């Protein structure tokens, strides 16, 4: 089961930052999916770093159209393949959090409502990193970004992270999963499962971003793991409405362990950390994690 393809379908030499979490998510996803796919991408870091003409890092067919429409493009691709009788080819849309939870939400809602045969993967680095760390609907509570600065009267992002999985679940998607690049086997397994199911399936992968979250490029995996070990990001899947945790931290670590290693949370007071801990505890309780 833990046999992972050694073939790299995303070629090295692309322009991503060292320690990029998104690139890892894509690399793992492609290993899970194999070659018989068509990838659709919105505008974002991953599009920019992988396809500066005349170069491309993609060893599978790939199309980019615009920022807010990747789900609609993917829907069109699968409709075309259907008419060509090429039902064996899987269509995969891979977008960032901005292109998924904010500007791309309408198109994604349409795609999932139609239950078009597409695997949608959101690589969530919790802000608009491509344009320079502006907040998105996926930015967590209290995080500093360039549009949620910490000043005399404001203390970073004032709203909690949008629960995208609940939104997709409300559409009745046959399979949705929360994953993390800190747990590659879990991520690969989920992508494989998503691809094996006919219809719109959705994977939300937590992908730390060194430059945006303000940590050293060597710490990406450590921070991804800490998110799960503290319970601020949890690994689960919902298959045809049935919820299942795919990883349960043995003993949840305090959320401060996750927050204190990132510059974007540097401004937090003990009271603010306690407030975040309370929010995390509540969410973990809801998901059945101690």
Considering the complex, what minimum distance in angstroms separates the CB of residue 145 from another protein? Answer: 24
Tell me if 273 contacts another protein by CB under 8 A: no
Tell me if 198 contacts another protein by CB under 8 A: no
How many residues at the interface with another protein, by CB under 8 A? 45
Whole-angstrom Cα distance, residue 165 to residue 13? Answer: 33
> Pick from 17, 102, 110, 272: which binds another protein (CB under 8 A)?
110
Assess contact for 290 and 280: CB atoms under 8 A.
no
Considering the complex, what minimum distance in angstroms separates the CB of residue 113 from another protein? Answer: 7
The Cβ-side half-sphere exposure at 154, using a 13 Å CA radius, reads 14
**Which run of H or of E encompasses 95?**
strand 90-96
Pairs from 33-37 (Cβ < 8 Å, separation ≥ 24) = 33/9, 33/90, 33/92, 33/119, 33/191, 33/192, 33/195, 34/5, 34/9, 35/7, 35/9, 35/59, 35/60, 36/88, 36/89, 36/90, 37/61, 37/89, 37/90, 37/91, 37/92
Considering the complex, what minimum distance in angstroms separates the CB of residue 210 from another protein? Answer: 22
Tell me if 5 contacts another protein by CB under 8 A: no
> Pick from 4, 11, 18, 36: which binds another protein (CB under 8 A)?
36
Considering the complex, what minimum distance in angstroms separates the CB of residue 194 from another protein? Answer: 18
Helix (H, G, I), strand (E, B) or coil at 198: coil
Whole-angstrom Cα distance, residue 67 to residue 148? Answer: 22
Whole-angstrom Cα distance, residue 273 to residue 156? Answer: 13
β-pairing, 37-41 vs 90-96, is parallel
Q: Which is nearer to another protein, 78 or 180 (CB)?
A: 78
Considering only residues 218 through 237, tell me which ones interact with another protein, judged by CB under 8 A. Answer: none
What Cα–Cα distance (Å) separates residue 223 from each residue in 11, 159, 164? 25, 22, 21
**x/- string (CB under 8 A) for another protein, residues 46-75?**
-xx--xxxx-x-xxxxxxxxx-xx-xxxxx
Considering the complex, what minimum distance in angstroms separates the CB of residue 135 from another protein? Answer: 23
Tell me if 40 contacts another protein by CB under 8 A: yes
Whole-angstrom Cα distance, residue 233 to residue 246? Answer: 12
Tell me if 109 contacts another protein by CB under 8 A: yes
Q: Which is nearer to another protein, 118 or 207 (CB)?
A: 118
Q: Which is nearer to another protein, 66 or 221 (CB)?
A: 66
Considering the complex, what minimum distance in angstroms separates the CB of residue 48 from another protein? Answer: 6
Considering the complex, what minimum distance in angstroms separates the CB of residue 32 from another protein? Answer: 15
Residues lying near another protein in the complex (CB under 8 A): 35-38, 40, 47-48, 51-54, 56, 58-66, 68-69, 71-84, 86, 89, 106-107, 109-110, 113-114
């Amino acid at each position: 089961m833990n046999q992972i393809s050694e073939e790299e379908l995303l070629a090295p030499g692309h322009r991503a930052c060292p320690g990029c979490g998104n690139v890892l998510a894509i690399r793992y996803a492609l290993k899970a999916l194999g070659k018989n796919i068509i990838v659709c991408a919105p505008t974002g870091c991953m599009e920019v770093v992988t396809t500066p003409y005349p170069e491309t890092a993609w060893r599978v067919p790939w199309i980019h159209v615009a920022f807010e429409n990747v789900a609609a493009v993917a829907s069109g691709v699968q409709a075309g393949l259907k008419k060509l009788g090429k039902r064996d080819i899987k269509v995969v849309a891979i977008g960032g959090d901005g292109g998924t939870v904010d500007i791309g939400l309408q198109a994604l809602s349409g795609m999932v409502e139609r239950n078009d045969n597409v695997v949608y993967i959101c690589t969530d680095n919790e802000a608009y990193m491509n344009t320079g760390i502006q907040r998105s609907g996926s930015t967590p509570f209290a995080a500093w970004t360039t549009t949620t600065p910490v000043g005399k009267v404001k203390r970073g992002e004032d709203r909690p992270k949008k629960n995208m999985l609940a939104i997709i679940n409300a559409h009745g998607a046959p399979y949705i999963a929360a994953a993390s690049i800190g747990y590659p086997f879990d991520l690969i397994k989920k992508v494989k499962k998503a691809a094996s199911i006919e219809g719109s399936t959705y994977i939300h992968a937590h992908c730390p971003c060194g430059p945006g979250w303000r940590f050293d490029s060597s710490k990406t995996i450590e921070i991804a793991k800490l998110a799960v070990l503290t319970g601020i990001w949890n690994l689960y899947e919902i298959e045809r409405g049935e919820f299942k945790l795919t990883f349960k931290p043995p003993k949840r670590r305090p959320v401060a362990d996750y927050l204190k290693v990132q510059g974007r949370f540097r401004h937090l007071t003990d009271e603010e950390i306690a407030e975040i801990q309370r929010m995390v505890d509540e969410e973990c309780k809801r998901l059945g994690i101690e």
